[in-house]
Amino acid sequence: MSETSHSSILPPPYKIVLLGDSSVGKTSLVHRFTTNRFDTHTPNTIGAAFITKEFSPHENHERKVRLEIWDTAGQERYRSLTPMYYRNARVALVCFDLSKFESTFNTAKYWIQQLELNNSSDSREKIEIRLVGTKRDLVSTIDDATKDQVNKLITEQSNVVKFHETSSKEGTGIESLFEDIVTNIEETFFTQYYEQNRDTSDQIGNMLRTRQTSNSYCC
């Protein structure tokens, strides 16, 4: 499918929610993506913060996807509120701190389990889950044990599509994360769009052929 064939068609806004333990860097990740800045002192989110950004993964392309980003609080006392923030989300970024793997990865697994329960009980479109390791700048290497646990989780949970390493301080991995998300969103949207319109065109064609047949007569 060529870019020019659907350049004038705009996908609807897409909701993205960030989940994870307190202080894993969710707010810094959003701030780096939306403003390209990094603040060393970021206050804890209370409840949730809502940010929008129009973004295109295609360089010099006028068509942009509107992203509606919900940055949720990581403190345990807000957990009962969080499901209302990821309701109707298309993508969930489940974040953990690579420099504090054991404690924050367990919380990431908790949120993935909650999302999987939501996906299994909800007949609407499933939430695509991206596992995001933050603060990559604080670890020199990612050891094999960490990689094994991450790969095991992705294998076990069908809706976890990919693992991303990011550093909000250095600005690495964040642009490519959202490029990958939006590219996937666009591919899904346009596939469905053209499939639906093809079905509609086929129905109209069949209807016209039926009318032509019913209106025909022999001399």
The pLDDT, as a whole number, for residue 214 is 46
Residue 134 maps to which CATH number?
A: 3.40.50.300
* 18 domain-assigned: yes
Q: Each residue of 19-40: pLDDT tens digit?
A: 999 999 999 999 999 999 998 8
Task: Give the number of domains in the chain.
Answer: 1
Buried-exposed string 136-160: b where 16+ CB fall within 10 A, e elsewhere? beebeeeeeebeeebeebbeebebb
* 61 domain-assigned: yes
What is the band of 194 on the pLDDT scale with cuts at 50, 70, 90?
A: confident
- Please, which residues have CB within 8 angstroms of residue 139's CB and are 6 or more apart in sequence? 98, 99
Q: What is the mean pLDDT of residues 200-213?
A: 51
Q: Is the pLDDT of residue 10 over 80?
A: no
Beta strands in the chain (DSSP E): 14-20, 48-55, 65-72, 91-97, 128-134, 160-165
Tokens (6 digits) for 196: 């639906």
* 170 domain-assigned: yes
- Residue 166 phi, psi dihedral angles, 5° rounding: -135, 155
* 22 domain-assigned: yes
The pLDDT, as a whole number, for residue 158 is 82
Range of the domain at 117: 11-215
* 4 domain-assigned: no
The pLDDT, as a whole number, for residue 134 is 98
Q: Among candidates 3, 139, 126, which has minimal Cα distance to 63?
A: 3
pTM of the model: 0.81
